[in-house]
């Protein structure tokens, strides 16, 4: 779920014609930094009003979905780890799991994990880009991977800006999951999904005992980003339980998340009632412990609001 600035076409003078948009290249769809190792096949390239999307098939048959040059999700092992981490902590912490709101997650992978709970009645998946949801519903490799989650009778998909949807809705949810890209100077509008004002709005959309989870990027590369998101959530009046999944040995990354609620949360109270592949008891214990090299960056935290560029500036520095 991404937001892009409108393309600017400038006029040099009254006698100069409008500049023609340049032809898009492979690098507009698959950045050099995120290009797969080895041989791969491009299955699809398309430009939507919000982003440039590419679907790539790897030599092992797995697929990756790119948004504006960078991997958004796919059918790889790290997608399973990400989904388990983002979903099962808030589902375990929430008093109920009947009604779930998902902002982002067009690939249907996190929705697949939510649907594993028998007590779930409805899952509302909100994404601004209909093409991303189309991929999650129709791309055969993704449908097999997400177990057809976006076509499940319990799931309602909404094509809309996530912030606008929540502002207009009067519903309350037991679990709210935010799975959107980081704000950047190229996508400044995403800051409104990480701001103090938005978290204040979500605070009022929780049922009693409800829990929010937020993906906070890679703490191994941008610890200030993670701490600033957490500080922003606290500034909105919510209690926060930060955690991370250290996948540096296999994937070279350490992903940060946090759970938030109107009541205090403690890792000792968590009881994941379904089987998980990656969230073992020993792993769960380590997920709530942060090394001193990360904790030292806490002093650099800043508050994201609707009117500043705190998180985009951090993203730009890294």
Task: Return per-residue pLDDT of the chain as tens, 318 residues.
Answer: 333 322 222 222 333 344 445 667 888 899 998 999 999 999 999 999 999 999 999 999 999 999 989 899 999 999 999 999 999 999 999 999 999 999 998 899 999 999 999 999 999 999 999 999 999 999 999 999 999 999 999 999 999 999 999 999 999 999 999 999 999 898 889 999 999 999 999 999 999 999 999 999 999 999 999 999 999 999 999 999 999 999 999 989 999 999 999 999 999 999 999 999 999 999 999 999 999 989 888 888 999 999 999 999 999 998
Q: Where are the domains of the chain?
A: 26-72, 77-317
Walk across the sheet containing 40-47 and list its strands. Answer: 40-47, 52-58, 63-67, 70-74
pLDDT reported for residue 21: 54
Which of 127, 129, 179, 254 is labelled catalytic?
A: 179
Residue 186 appears among annotated catalytic residues: no
Cβ-based neighbours of 268, under 8 Å, separated by 6 or more = none
> If you count them, how many residues does the chain have?
318
* Cα dist from 75 to 57, 58, 146, whole Å: 10, 10, 9
- Name the token pair of 159: 């094509």
Of 54, 52, 1, 33, nearest in space to 178 by CA: 1
In contact, 235 and 65? CB cutoff 8 Å: no
Distance, CA of 183 to CA of 162 (rounded, Å): 14
CATH class of 77-317: alpha beta
- Residue 76, class by beta-carbon neighbours within 10 Å (0-12 exposed, 13-18 middle, 19+ buried)? middle
pLDDT reported for residue 22: 61
């Amino acid at each position: 779920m991404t937001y892009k600035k409108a393309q600017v076409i400038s006029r040099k003078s009254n006698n100069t014609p409008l500049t023609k948009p340049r032809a898009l290249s492979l690098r507009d769809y698959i950045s050099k930094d995120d290009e797969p190792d080895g041989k791969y096949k491009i299955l699809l390239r398309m430009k939507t009003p919000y982003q440039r999307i590419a679907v790539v098939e790897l030599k092992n048959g797995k697929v990756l979905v790119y948004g504006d040059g960078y991997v958004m999700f796919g059918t790889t092992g790290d997608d399973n780890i990400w989904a388990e981490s983002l979903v099962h902590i808030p589902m375990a912490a929430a008093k109920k799991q009947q009604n779930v709101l998902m902002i982002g997650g067009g690939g249907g992978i996190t929705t697949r994990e939510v649907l594993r709970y028998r007590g779930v009645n409805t899952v509302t998946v909100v994404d601004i880009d209909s093409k991303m949801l189309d991929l999650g519903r129709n791309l055969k490799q993704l449908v097999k991977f997400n177990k057809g989650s976006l076509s499940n009778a319990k799931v309602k998909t909404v094509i809309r800006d996530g912030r606008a949807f929540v502002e207009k809705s009067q519903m309350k949810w037991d679990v709210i999951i935010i799975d959107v890209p980081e704000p950047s100077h190229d996508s400044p509008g995403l800051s409104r999904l990480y701001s103090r004002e938005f978290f204040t709005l979500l605070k009022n959309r929780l049922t009693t005992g409800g829990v929010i989870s937020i993906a906070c990027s890679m703490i191994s590369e941008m610890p200030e980003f993670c701490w600033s998101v957490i500080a922003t959530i606290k500034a909105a009046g919510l209690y926060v339980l930060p955690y991370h999944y250290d996948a540096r040995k296999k994937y070279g990354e350490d992903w940060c998340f946090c759970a938030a609620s109107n009541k205090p949360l403690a890792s000792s109270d968590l009881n994941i009632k379904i089987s998980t592949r990656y969230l073992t008891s020993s792993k769960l214990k380590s997920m709530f412990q942060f090394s001193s090299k990360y904790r030292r960056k806490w002093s650099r935290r800043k508050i994201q609001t609707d009117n500043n560029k705190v998180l985009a500036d951090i993203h730009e520095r890294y």
